A and B are shown apart, each in its own frame.
Chain A
Amino acid sequence: MEKGFMYWIVYILQQYWPYFIKGMFVTLWISILGTCLGYVLGFLLGLVQSTPVAKEDGLGKKIFYKIIKPFCAIFIGVFRGTPMMVQAMVIYYGLKTSGVNISPFAASIVVLTLNTGAYMAETVRGGIISVDKGQLEGGFAMGMSHTLTMFTVVLPQAFRNIIPEMVNMFLTNLKMTSELNVIGVAELYFTTKTAAGTYYRYFESYIICAIIYLILCTIFTKALSTIEKKAFAPKDYELAVEYSSTAE
């Protein structure tokens, strides 16, 4: 007798659920760690990319940026211009061949970090450009250095502007980790592939996989947008009445 769709779904879940859960957590860890480290890398790259070098700057600073800027540009170009799956293969097997023994899990985090960093660099640069130039000048006019104004005035505003894009990037990464199955990291997609192969039930296995991804993404979308709204809700200010009596 032919067994139905629901039968297989239940059967696979019964047999395989610990692996799905484990895969899900691996996916979560890779995406959270990789994305967060990628944010940091992206901020550094974006900052370097958008630091102008003036005639008046010291020789050390000039040389540093002369060397590091093209390097950043090449890095960003390469990582935005190649598929992450290929990057994973090249990095993982590249390291293996050159004698560095790295676990697929660690390699996954490295690849995701570099990939996110490259995209994030451009996002950060865009965020910095989006802040009005007058903000910098306001700092300069009080004798603030470029770095000080950048960190206290421009970056906080740029950060605020790119949060939606950062959230977006995390959600994309959550799904993109599935590509990392090519280097054998036991994340959700890899686990599903194994389950499907074990029972020869491809359709049902991938339906389960899809549902888990969907649940994860939905939870994170809701949670992150709630946090964003809470954190940046326009706040009313209170008049400081203690100072209102003597205006002059």
Chain B
Amino acid sequence: MTENKNNDVLKVEHLVKSFGTHEVLKDLDFSIKPKEVVCIIGSSGSGKSTLLRCINGLETKTGGSIYYHGNKIGSNLRELNKFRTQVGMVFQSFNLFNNMTVLQNCMSGTTKVLKIKKEEAKFLAIKYLRQVGMAPYINAHPAQLSGGQKQRVAIARALTMQPEMLLFDEPTSALDPEMVGEVLAVMKELAQNGLTMMIVTHEMTFARDVSTRTMFMDNGYIVEDDTPQNIFHHPINPRMKEFLKRYIDDLDKN
């Protein structure tokens, strides 16, 4: 039971996820406030992606509850789908629909799920494609775009749903170093515009400079959950210190 006293967008209570006997998420508790930009860092296999996928129901959680503005997200598919229109997701592998053009991709959610009229949906699609700099490519198919372009379209597609919050699952991990920048720039702009975001990332400088809050996950636990200032400059946990050492060159340079 929870009362929504403090205006949390998302509240996670005692979240547990196991794959068979392997426990990936171990009793996680946290909440996200409006306009927070939360970066989740940690080594591979620490449960970062699983956490995001449990939040929007792509993985069925083993235990615990998730609340959206105080309302529990049950297992009811209709409720879950409604929640998903308000909390979007951007994937590492983009997951643009290969059988549709860029424009059709960006109109699919609005016309088919939100049932918005075609003209209005097109207006929204172009608006957000412009924002990510992909509007000239409306007639292209995903296969004809570079990774960075695909990810920008994927972000625009998620934005057309006009979500309150977006979950990013390693959005730049499948990209060439050259293309990482263009995607991060788009995300930075979203953060500045006040979109609530949860971002699983290996881009430490981005986490340090853009996030309002950083979580460090290790072995299924959220080990540290603090301002990026404290996390990156005064890490307490020994695992966190060890983890940051590997990125120290990167962090110093920028």
A binding-site residues for B, Cβ under 8 Å: 54-57, 132, 134-135, 137-145, 148, 152-153, 156-157, 160, 237-241, 243-244, 246-248
Contacts and interface: CB of A to CB of B under 8 A. Distances in A.
Given A153-B99, A246-B130, A142 B84 contact: yes
A70 to B, nearest CB: 24
A144 B109 contact: yes
B138 A148 contact: no
B84 A244 contact: no
A238 B95 contact: no
B130 to A, nearest CB: 7
A135 B97 contact: yes
B96 interface: yes
A237 B139 contact: yes
Interface residues of B, number: 46
Interface of B: 56-58, 60, 75-77, 80-85, 88-89, 91, 93-101, 108-109, 112-113, 126, 129-131, 133, 135-141, 144, 154, 157-158, 161
A248 to B, nearest CB: 7
Contacts of B99: 153, 156-157, 160
A39 B17 CA distance: 42
Given A138-B97, A142-B88, A56 B112 contact: no
A40 to B, nearest CB: 20
Nearest to B144: A237
Given A55-B75, A142-B84, A143-B81, A137 B95 contact: yes
A140 B137 contact: no
Identify which of B82, B97, B126 gathers the most chain A CB atoms within 10 Å of its CB.
Answer: B97
A152 B56 contact: no
A169 to B, nearest CB: 22
B136 A143 contact: no
B91 A141 contact: yes
A76 B164 CA distance: 47
Contacts of A248: 130-131, 133
Given A240-B135, A247-B135, A143 B161 contact: yes
A137 B108 contact: no
Contacts of A135: 95, 97-98
A237 B140 contact: yes
Contacts of B82: 143
Contact of B91 (A57, A134, A240, A241): A134
A143 B130 CA distance: 24
B113 A142 contact: yes
Identify the 10 closest CB pairs spanning chains A and B, nearest first. Answer: A138-B95, A243-B135, A142-B109, A143-B85, A141-B89, A143-B84, A244-B136, A134-B95, A143-B81, A237-B139
B77 A152 contact: no
13 contacts: A57-B77, A132-B95, A138-B91, A138-B94, A141-B84, A143-B85, A144-B109, A145-B81, A153-B100, A237-B137, A240-B135, A243-B129, A248-B131
A172 to B, nearest CB: 27
Given A144-B81, A152-B112, A237-B140, 16 more contacts: A54-B77, A134-B93, A138-B96, A141-B84, A141-B158, A143-B83, A143-B109, A144-B112, A148-B112, A152-B108, A243-B126, A243-B129, A243-B130, A246-B130, A247-B130, A247-B135
